[in-house]
Structure 1
Amino acid sequence: MFKHSQLESVKASLAHPAHAAMPLHARIQRAIRQLILDGALGAGKPLPASRALAKSLGVSRDTIEAAYAQLHAEGFIDRRVGSGSFVAQITDFSAGRHITRRDTCPRNQAPSLSKRGAAMFRDGGVAETLSPRPFAHGVPETRSFPLALWERLERQVLKETGTQALLHGDPQGAEPLRRAIADHVNLERGARATADRVLVLTSSQQAMALCATVLLDPGERIFIEDPAYYGARKAFNAAGLDCIPIRVDRQGIVVDDILAAPRKAKAAFLTPSHQFPTGATLSLDRRLALIEWAARHQAWIIEDDYDSEFRYAGKPTACVQGLDPHDRTIYVGTFTKALFPGLRIGYVVLPHQLVKPMTVARTLLDGHTASLTQLTLARFMEAGHFGAHVRAMRSLYTERLDVLTTLVRRHLSDFIEPQVPIGGLQMPCVLTCDLPEQAVVDAAKRVEIALLGLSTLHAGAGGKPGFLMGFAAYTPYEIERAVRKLAHALQEASQRNGLSASSPKAVL
């Protein structure tokens, strides 16, 4: 028979809100199993007769029989005709061997991770904005996306492919989409791509992780812009690479520093068309010098062209990949910024010799990108809808950037100086007041405004303090309201810090 405490433990399990969705017999079976695992019911101990336990718990005898039957099937108890039910002779849970609380890992104790796992956990991963707040960076306008058109194209794909679209897909990507991507980057970015050189992935982040693990060994060096996109730096750090920061000026990454480096690197990562976060465009002479460096040292250039579709001033510069006659450039693109983040489709244009190794490596990660989504996107591009959407968004974003620039200069001139970009989805701002960067970010957070501090994008100390202000996803009304809130928050932060900033021109 159960002791009083054991019976109360079973009753508590029956009444626990977390178990409310479970059948009664499953709750009882779970509670008795836990008593055995904890050693409270030792091997060979008899269990109450089903009729007696049913009466004690206020349930039917059939419920107890169902619980006992499951415990017996799992090997926790033995049932003997005419003798009853007994805890089975399980070595690991017999007297002196049961699991106790001190044997388990306390919740606040750090888990035992590999060096790579610890590095990934320590870096904090890449946190995406689930519900964007002004001025979250890198978020496109999604409320005006042509959903009805997308749904119609998806239905067409399903009608034509049937259940074929529900099966495993080509790990390199659906051929129609690879062909559409090649046509797009050749026409719009001056690339040298063919469908057989395109590898479709879930994101540019996956592309960088693949490059880091397939092309370089732990401890090998990679040159990386400073400041740089945090997702790239974290992907390379997680792979155990030695990231060598290379400064950025108004003409992009300083290639002379790469050429003069005393120790060579096996790769260089950069955002030449629209440097993140400064917005600089890599000059042509530096592009050509970088290409020659890669050829001479048999190094790789990883070119992230993350938001090249959106340029608001001047003519776009051809991508590095299109200028590289030596085939040492890996071109990374994504549809996250041009369409919507939930699409989860990115791609790389690879040198011929890397297509098979990268495709095989990709199969170890997630196998393939969803076929239905790929085929729908291919049709969206082939019919000209992608180009039309990009043109519409480019016009919309130009207007929103103008609105943000005007409002920042009107209401935040006591605190920041905007660095108006020629493209992209966010505007860098440099602090001109004495407030620390983190104090500004914290003040904004208190009024539900998201700012990304520029110092977090630098490899070390240095660089002007400031932040990024995303503008693409927010209407002029939302931008104005958020700018006013930010001005008020920064004025309050100045007063708390005893600074003499002028009263902001905006009030709530």
Structure 2
Amino acid sequence: MFRHAQLESVKAWLGDPAHQALPRHVRIQRAIRQLILDGALDAGRPLPASRALARSLGVSRDTVEAAYGQLHAEGFIERRVGSGSFVSAQALRVPRQPPSSRPGQPAAAALSQRGSAMLAGGGVRESLTARPFAPGIPETRNFPLPVWERLQRLVLKEHGARALAHCHPQGMESLRRAIADYINLERGARAAPERILVLTSSQQALSLCATVLLDVGERICVEDPVYHGARKAFDAAGLDCVPIPLDGDGMQVGHLDAVANARAVFLTPSHQFPSGTTLSLARRLGVIDWARRQQAWIIEDDYDSEFHYAGKPTACVQGLDDEQRTIYIGTFTKSLFPGLRIAYMLLPPALVAPMTVARSLQDGHNATIAQLTLARFIEGGHFGAHVRAMRSVYAARRDRLARLVDEHLGDFVTAEVPAGGMQMPCFLRAGIDEAPAVAAAQRAGIELLGLSPLSAGGGGCPGFLMGFAAYTPEEMAIALRQLAAVLQGLTAK
């Protein structure tokens, strides 16, 4: 029979708000099972009669009978006609859970070295809501939803149930064709549909490059400072990241020759992240020549090249590369909306099959309906029209942010107005520490990305990135006044 403490334990399970979604018989069954697993009820111990337990718990006898029936089916109790219910001897063979692994007390996981590195790196945390001044977030309130909805209806009407099925891991042919046509025209690429691999994100593309092209311990050259998502993908894959310094013309590619046995280089040549510089044509040709001589790969992340505000953007490195050593990465997360989850790689012919097979081991393929809708969106000219409209909006917001920063933060930071992109680097003046400033801003509801952690060599200038694409001038003005008060409070201490 139950002792008082055991009966109270079952009552606690029954009344716990965390368990209210479960039927009563399930709550009773799990409470008794836990007592058995904890060793509080030994093998052969008789359980209370169902009528008596029902009376003690204030439930119907049928409820207790249902709980006992499930425990019997799982082998935790035996039911003997005329004698009652007893804890089964089989329960002794169920491994006892150590206290640290019981509900509410998760056990420490034994991770691989790679898993530990991923956990220590903290992952790549995207802002779920567009809080000023989170970088890299597009304005979604202006997105032409009625157009998208109409095109999606057309897709479903044309394809029917076929749009609900699996598709090839390389992506729908119509979308690959639309992407190839667009980047050939707008980015000067040399693309063909059969060389496009549709993915869920640029982060997936970086992870595939890290694991398919290089082995653990091999060297990859990266910009310094570097995009944090790339660095974390390469670190998680166990690569040796070698920082290459920047100047006003982007990565100093002449330093690449001093790096022995480098297998690849990672670049953001259109708008270097986070500095915003553009890699000069001479250096683009220089990195192509280096890759040819070293038989190395160029990983070109063209993450927001649509948003260039002064003159024509420089052609992508891939379009200049006769050696076919360049992997070109693009995404629609920045140009359309994050929830779309569609990005792509333009691959050298020799890498199409390996990358597609590797991708099939991760998530199989992108949602078919979204791919077909996006293909129509691009083919119908809606993508180009949306980008042109948002380019004008973002340019005005960039200029407005620069004025607001000068007005409210002039005593604390120096801003560098970028020629393109969706975020503005601001460098802290002497006397203000970066980490406390970023942390205090976060507590005030303002998202800033610190610049120092992005320096692979550890010598970055203290400051932060301020995204401006997703925020109206009024929203930026309110947030900047709050940020000014935060920084003022730090300097007053």
TM-score (norm 2): 0.97
What SS class does the counterpart of residue 90 from structure 1 fall into?
Answer: helix
Q: Distance in 2 between matches of 1:103 and 1:208?
A: 35
What SS class does the counterpart of residue 328 from structure 2 fall into?
Answer: strand
Q: Report the counterpart of residue 319 of structure 1 in structure 2.
A: 316
Q: Report the counterpart of residue 11 of structure 1 in structure 2.
A: 11
- The offset of 1:102, in angstroms, is 6.5
Change (3 A) 1:483 1:104: closer
- The offset of 1:106, in angstroms, is 9.1
Aligned residue type for 2:368: S
Q: Distance in 1 between matches of 2:249 and 2:398?
A: 22
Q: Distance in 2 between matches of 1:351 and 1:207?
A: 14
Identical-pair percentage: 66
Q: Report the counterpart of residue 377 of structure 1 in structure 2.
A: 374
Do 2:36 and 2:91's aligned partners in 1 also have CA atoms closer than 8 Å?
A: no
Aligned residue type for 2:435: Q
Do 2:423 and 2:469's aligned partners in 1 also have CA atoms closer than 8 Å?
A: yes
Q: Distance in 1 between matches of 2:476 and 2:4?
A: 64
Structure 1, residues 193-221: CA drift from partner, whole Å, max 9, x if none? 01000000000000000000111110000
Q: Distance in 1 between matches of 2:6 and 2:438?
A: 53
Do 1:42 and 1:93's aligned partners in 2 also have CA atoms closer than 8 Å?
A: no
Q: Report the counterpart of residue 123 of structure 1 in structure 2.
A: 121
What SS class does the counterpart of residue 378 from structure 2 fall into?
Answer: helix
Aligned residue type for 2:421: G
Aligned pairs for 1:193-342 (under 5 A) are 193-261=191-259, 263-342=260-339
Does residue 476 of structure 2 align to residue 488 of structure 1? no
What SS class does the counterpart of residue 426 from structure 2 fall into?
Answer: strand
> Structure 2: which 5+ residue stretches go unaligned?
none
What SS class does the counterpart of residue 123 from structure 2 fall into?
Answer: coil
- The offset of 1:56, in angstroms, is 2.1
Aligned residue type for 1:460: G
Q: Distance in 1 between matches of 2:9 and 2:440?
A: 49
Higher mean alpha-carbon deviation, 47-56 vs 122-131, is at 47-56
Aligned pairs for 1:56-71 (under 5 A) are 56-71=56-71
Change (3 A) 1:104 1:63: closer
- The offset of 1:413, in angstroms, is 1.8
1:149 to 147, 150, 154: 147
Structure 1, residues 246-276: CA drift from partner, whole Å, max 9, x if none? 1111111111100222x12001001011100
- The offset of 1:414, in angstroms, is 1.5
Q: Distance in 2 between matches of 1:189 and 1:92?
A: 68
What SS class does the counterpart of residue 13 from structure 2 fall into?
Answer: helix
Do 1:427 and 1:471's aligned partners in 2 also have CA atoms closer than 8 Å?
A: yes
Q: Distance in 2 between matches of 1:429 and 1:9?
A: 57
Q: Distance in 2 between matches of 1:192 and 1:102?
A: 56
Higher mean alpha-carbon deviation, 398-407 vs 206-215, is at 398-407
Q: Distance in 2 between matches of 1:430 and 1:315?
A: 27
Q: Report the counterpart of residue 32 of structure 1 in structure 2.
A: 32
- The offset of 1:105, in angstroms, is 10
Structure 1, residues 409-467: CA drift from partner, whole Å, max 9, x if none? 22222222211111000111122342112233233224322111111110133132211
Q: Report the counterpart of residue 350 of structure 1 in structure 2.
A: 347
- The offset of 1:154, in angstroms, is 0.9
What SS class does the counterpart of residue 39 from structure 1 fall into?
Answer: coil
Q: Distance in 1 between matches of 2:318 and 2:453?
A: 29
Q: Distance in 1 between matches of 2:408 and 2:237?
A: 44
Do 1:53 and 1:64's aligned partners in 2 also have CA atoms closer than 8 Å?
A: yes
What SS class does the counterpart of residue 269 from structure 2 fall into?
Answer: coil
Change (3 A) 1:483 1:381: same
Q: Report the counterpart of residue 20 of structure 1 in structure 2.
A: 20
Q: Distance in 1 between matches of 2:447 and 2:399?
A: 20
Q: Distance in 2 between matches of 1:327 and 1:454?
A: 33
Aligned residue type for 2:492: Q
2:136 to 135, 138, 159: 138
2:416 to 412, 415, 419: 419
Change (3 A) 1:428 1:156: same
Q: Distance in 2 between matches of 1:21 and 1:110?
A: 28
- The offset of 1:346, in angstroms, is 0.6
Higher mean alpha-carbon deviation, 434-443 vs 129-138, is at 434-443
Aligned residue type for 1:428: P
Q: Report the counterpart of residue 367 of structure 1 in structure 2.
A: 364
Q: Distance in 1 between matches of 2:446 and 2:216?
A: 38
- The offset of 1:103, in angstroms, is 7.6
Q: Distance in 2 between matches of 1:269 and 1:90?
A: 58
Do 2:100 and 2:107's aligned partners in 1 also have CA atoms closer than 8 Å?
A: no
Q: Report the counterpart of residue 54 of structure 1 in structure 2.
A: 54
Higher mean alpha-carbon deviation, 225-234 vs 141-150, is at 141-150
1:465 to 462, 472, 475: 462
Higher mean alpha-carbon deviation, 409-418 vs 264-273, is at 409-418
Q: Report the counterpart of residue 444 of structure 1 in structure 2.
A: 441
Q: Distance in 2 between matches of 1:234 and 1:350?
A: 22
- The offset of 1:98, in angstroms, is 4.1
Q: Distance in 1 between matches of 2:479 and 2:51?
A: 67
Q: Distance in 2 between matches of 1:100 and 1:343?
A: 43
- The offset of 1:391, in angstroms, is 0.2
Q: CA RMSD in A?
A: 1.6
- The offset of 1:132, in angstroms, is 1.7
> Structure 1: which 5+ residue stretches go unaligned?
497-508
Change (3 A) 1:103 1:482: closer
